Amino acid sequence: MDLLERLRYAAEGAYQDAADASDRDGRTPACGIPPARGVTSYAVAGREIPIYPAAGPGGRRFPLLKAMLTTACERDCNYCSFRSEHDQRRVTFHPEEMARAFDQALRAGVVQGLFLSSGIAGGGANTQERLIATAEILRRRFGFRGYIHLKLMPGAERDQVLRAMRIASRVSINLEAPNPQRLPALAPSKSFEGELLPPLRWASQARTPDGEGPRLASSATQFVVGAAGESDLEILSTVQHAYHQLGLARAFFQSFNPVRGTPLENAPPESSVRQNRLYEASYLLRDYGFDLEDMPLDLNGNLPLDRDPKTAYAARVLSETPVEINTAPPELLLRIPGVGPKGVQTLLDARKQGALRELSHLRQLGILAERAAPYVTLMGRRPPQQLPLFP
């Protein structure tokens, strides 16, 4: 295969990683992994390369090339199509080749950023060195100043994590499972405490408390959901720790989908609804001041699937003790369905101008008034609610 044909295959291989991409749409490429929703193939020098819609600061969408430096891997993760014992085509790039291939796509105007992952070949530290070398070539030789997301390999060294953080926009390592007890079902040759969690700790320790010093990349992680028998409580416990203690910027969730020829090929796939509920709960933990104890978990430690966790929380807590829009503090306003961080600031500003007395006032402020109505009062009175057409 020529350089861009290999890039196509390496890009299809990166479908497996959910970070910086949206949900899957069911189409299956050559590598056997369904791609993300919104993925578009663009022609680069006659080769169709899949490009992802990624979300940047402020929600701005930009085209992202996701690729693997090598699809060869010496590990034997039970769910992964690139496990060492799985029979399939492998492609490998030298750092110079990957940098040159990305530069071609950049000059063709089809990408603005790079997500670079890899199978583990020659050990985690050696693989990490090649990933860093690729980013260094792009930054220093090609002068690329845009977005680079570098994966951190199991077995990467502390100094490598710091170097990656200095040259990338974001770094991430996939924890895969929420704790050491669940990991063997997914990745029996990996150590949760020995090689997956330390890079996130090192990344946290590298950031100065006051934010001074050189700019360092944010950090993220990903979980495989539904293949190891874990509960949502287990996942969210680890997510909360990572947000509050490790400075994690983002947690990603990938609902398990069995791959033929792997030990878990006969395991049932996990619902994408559960994946989405975990995303919603993680945002509540990160941005809305919620705590693990606030999560509306059932007796098995799982979130409801029939409604989002914020609405489920409000139905349980706020139905009998509604929030007074005109006097509630910001942290309580954030608990109301239909009100986000921007909405809270809008409400605080509007309250300075006078009392909010009707749902129409909330609508004018951009608040989802119908969602909020069952859980608020306006000047001590519950607003009228429209009955649903169907029970």
CA angle at 78 for the pair 154 and 192, rounded to the nearest 5°? 35
pLDDT, residue 391, reads 45
- State how far the Cα of 127 lies from the Cα of 233, in Å rounded to an integer: 33
pLDDT tier, 211 (very low <50, low <70, confident <90, very high otherwise): low
- The mean pLDDT of the chain is 89
Q: What is the pLDDT of residues 248-306, one digit of tens each?
A: 999 999 999 998 889 999 999 999 999 999 999 999 999 999 999 999 999 999 999 99
The distance in angstroms from the start CA to the end CA of the chain is: 59
Both structure tokens of 202: 């090192």
In the predicted structure, residue 35 carries a pLDDT above the cut 60: no
pLDDT, residue 34, reads 37
Neighbours of 112 (CB within 10 A): 18
10 or 253, greater pLDDT: 253
pLDDT tier, 23 (very low <50, low <70, confident <90, very high otherwise): very low
The domain segmentation of the chain, as residue ranges, is 1-172, 322-377
- State how far the Cα of 82 lies from the Cα of 73, in Å rounded to an integer: 6
Q: What is the pLDDT of residues 295-353, one digit of tens each?
A: 999 999 999 999 999 999 999 999 999 999 999 999 999 999 999 999 999 999 999 99
Task: Give mean pLDDT, residues 185-212.
Answer: 91
Task: Give mean pLDDT, residues 376-385.
Answer: 91
Q: What is the pLDDT of residues 56-66, one digit of tens each?
A: 666 778 899 99
The mean-pLDDT minimum among 40-49, 55-64, 225-234 falls in 40-49
314 or 40, greater pLDDT: 314
